[in-house]
Chain A
Amino acid sequence: MARTKFKPSKLTLFIGLFLTGCIFLLLPQNVTSKVNFAFIDIFDYFLNMGSSAQKPRQNSPGSYVSRQEYLRLYTAYTNLEAQLAEQKKQFEKLSKIRLTEPDPSTGLIIAKVVNRKEHQFIINRGSADGLQTGQYVLGDNAVIGLIEQVSDDISSVRLISSSACKLPIKISSPEINSYFNGTIQGDDKSGARILNIPQKYKIKAGNNVYAAEKAGLLSSMRIIGRISKCTPGAKSAVVWDIEVKPVYDFENITDVAVVVIKSPEFK
């Protein structure tokens, strides 16, 4: 007996596929992201073919250091400077209270960048290593973004150059030995902008921008970049238009560290 082959009409096919799309859309993002991560996991080699991450690094001869090494040292120096200033302040004001800053090295998870997309990194660590959404990601000690999605063994990092990445910051003002609070947001190009800083604050190009401390996520300030442009606001005359250049060129970053602060255990 001949079997009848099931072939829906064009309209039925279209509606069926459309409804499938709606179901995909309604599924939770942490479920569907497993498919995205699986794709990256499987085709990792082909996706990174020809990227700067696969090229071997070259050492500069003589007593000179490479730009990458210079940036690493400069970042370490500015972070130390910020920590020193912060500690001086704390010693002056809270000399009788014991400092409870955790050792940062105990809360860092080193991860490798396995793929890079527009304003996004995919790293080879996941929830199995203690990663969670919202954690800060460092590239050689400078904050470069936040953890956006996490699966068991792979995660995505939203870089600070993305407009979807917003975080609290502090702008250094060495002239008055103080910091101004603000919020940074990516400009969807290669840098970021600082929003709604009043012009009464003495800020100028060259000042350092730090990620502000955040309970449970970042225990001390970490550098993000430097102000590259600071002009009176085009939309509002009372605020600055501030552009920030990150310390690092994201193209050259191959390894990152995720700040994972362990909550203290009370007995």
Chain B
Amino acid sequence: MKWFRFSLVILAATVIGAGALMDVISITEQHIKPSLLLMLLVYFAINCNSYDAIICCFSIGLAADITGNLIGPYFISFGVIGTALTQVRKFILLKKTGQQAFAIFLTGISIYLLAIIIMKFKTSGSGAPTFANAAAVSMYSAILWFLLKIPVETLGKWLGVGVYRFGNSLSEPRA
């Protein structure tokens, strides 16, 4: 895993995700936008070795927090749910695009639900997304994954993720 390149990609995804450019593809009067960070989280959780995936999940959570009002809720929720996903992929391979889209939807709902609960403790829910909003964002991200899968995979290869040689990942240490 090339961490400098990873930080550049996450920074770019954060700025694009929080910027006005995403309004172009927002839908309904509630301005539902897809979450690029959510898609990246699922991609890294599925394709990285589990050690790197933990770091990736928490880093993406921190990036999501920076664009919000509080530091902490998304850091914890992205980290915990992302790490759980790295355990799930030991039992379910999640190789097909449809499976990955479904994983994005479920992961998104779990992350936002956990973040809403954590935000309630801190600020009695001020600024937290509603559950319907969270479900819509997750659904939109899952649908968009069918279009973005190939560009994200290309980006992943540039980062040294999902590159295999002789049946082993380059970054996965031999047992």
Question: A residues within 8 Å of B by Cβ?
Answer: 10, 13-14, 17-18, 20-22, 24-27, 29, 32-33, 35-36, 39, 43, 46-51, 53, 116-118, 120, 148-149, 156, 158, 162, 164, 188-190
In angstroms, Cα B114 to Cα A64, docked, is 52
Q: Determine whether the beta carbon of A25 is less than 8 Å from that of B76.
A: yes
In angstroms, Cα B163 to Cα A222, docked, is 62
In angstroms, Cα B160 to Cα A44, docked, is 31
Closest 9 CB pairs of A and B: A25-B72, A51-B20, A24-B72, A21-B76, A32-B71, A164-B126, A21-B75, A47-B19, A17-B58
B29-45 interface with A by 8 A CB criterion: 29-31
- How close is A16's CB to chain B, nearest CB, in angstroms? 10
Q: Which residues of A contact B65 (CB under 8 A)?
A: 24
Given contacts A35-B71, A46-B15, A50-B20, 19 further A-B contacts (CB under 8 A): A14-B54, A21-B75, A22-B76, A24-B71, A24-B75, A25-B118, A25-B121, A25-B122, A27-B71, A32-B70, A36-B67, A36-B71, A39-B67, A47-B18, A50-B24, A117-B18, A148-B126, A156-B69, A188-B30
Interface residues on B, range: 35 or more
Q: Which residues of B contact A33 (CB under 8 A)?
A: 69
Q: Is B66 an interface residue (CB 8 A)?
A: yes
Q: Is B79 an interface residue (CB 8 A)?
A: yes
Q: Determine whether the beta carbon of A36 is less than 8 Å from that of B73.
A: no
Give the most central of A21, A48, A50, A120: most B CB within 10 Å: A21
Known: A13-B54, A21-B75, A188-B30. A39 touches B66 (CB 8 A): yes
In angstroms, Cα B55 to Cα A24, docked, is 16
Q: Determine whether the beta carbon of B76 is less than 8 Å from that of A18.
A: yes
Q: Determine whether the beta carbon of B70 is less than 8 Å from that of A29.
A: yes
Q: Which residues of A contact B72 (CB under 8 A)?
A: 21-22, 24-27, 32
Contact of A118 among B20, B31, B66, B126 (CB under 8 A): B31
Can you list 28 pairs linking A and B with CB atoms under 8 Å apart? A14-B54, A14-B83, A17-B54, A17-B58, A20-B75, A21-B72, A21-B76, A22-B76, A24-B75, A25-B73, A26-B72, A29-B69, A29-B122, A29-B123, A32-B71, A32-B72, A35-B71, A36-B66, A49-B19, A49-B20, A50-B24, A53-B20, A118-B31, A158-B126, A162-B127, A188-B130, A189-B30, A190-B29
Q: Is B98 an interface residue (CB 8 A)?
A: no
